[in-house]
Amino acid sequence: MTAVIQTKNLTKNYGKTQVLRNIDLTITAGEFTAIMGPSGSGKSTLMNVLSTIDRLSGGEVWLKGQSLLDLNKNQLRQFRQEHMGFIFQDYNLLDTLTVKENILLPLSLRKCPTQEMESRLRPIAETLGIEALLSKYPSEISGGQKQRTASARALITNPSIVFADEPTGALDSRSATQLLEQFVGLNDVFEATILMVTHDIYAASYCRRVIFLRDGVIVNELYAGGMSQKAFYDRILETQSLMGGRQR
């Protein structure tokens, strides 16, 4: 499989504090991966560095074979716009735009032809179950529907990878389950590569792979393989309780 993200000896410091320490990681095309760890483990910092929002302090990161060290600030911004999608816990929708306009905004900014925008919108809206909401405004829809709208916006550009930062954190259990099931569908139907930061074992159990961080180091990894979602949930729960400092 093609590597979308690859790191070697990745480190990140804030002043004298080392937050990430010698991270070696590969994310291949089509993976649905969760990053888990306690507060302060470095999981959000890792996502910020991998998504080019924050600069690395040492080591190297390659995105689609392109070293981040070779790109200046403007090139990083362009790379982010062309190859990445983002889903945030607080949705980041514009209240003055309809659901449809929010979803199409990244393509509108690129001056994408109207016909192409419509052709991209239809299958994503159908998969996420929001085709009946397209004319509504964010104030008129539920939290789960807002998150699905944000997910559609992240996917409309056909990004190489989607970064999801605690996407179920503001949702009730029913909406969270619906969103996670739709993530699985997007991963299957569109072969979307999704990297999700979460503290929630239930959310992580929908992924195909879980990476555990502690004190800025990868301490364990799990793969779902042929396990059911319930079986993988139990495995993640067991692993969290047994890690006890053990390195992979």
Q: What is the pLDDT of residue 244?
A: 54
Q: What is the pLDDT of residue 248?
A: 37
pLDDT (tens digit, 9 = 90+) per residue, 188-229?
888 889 999 999 999 999 999 999 999 999 999 999 999 999
Say which residue, 2 or 245, is predicted with more confidence.
2
pLDDT (tens digit, 9 = 90+) per residue, 109-140?
889 999 999 999 999 999 889 999 999 999 99
Alpha helices in 51-113, H assignment, sequence order:
73-83, 99-109
* Cα–Cα–Cα angle for 72, 74, 75, rounded to 5 degrees: 65
Rg (CA), the chain: 18
| pLDDT of 187 above 70 | yes
pLDDT (tens digit, 9 = 90+) per residue, 146-155?
999 999 999 8
Instruction: Place 245 in a pLDDT band, splitting at 50, 70 and 90.
Output: very low
pLDDT (tens digit, 9 = 90+) per residue, 64-101?
899 988 989 899 888 888 889 999 888 999 999 999 99
Sign of CA dihedral 121, 126, 130, 135: positive
Instruction: Specify whether the CB–CB gap between 56 and 13 falls below 8 A.
Output: no
pLDDT (tens digit, 9 = 90+) per residue, 7-41?
999 999 999 999 999 999 999 999 999 999 998 99
| pLDDT of 247 above 50 | no
Q: What is the pLDDT of residue 234?
A: 97
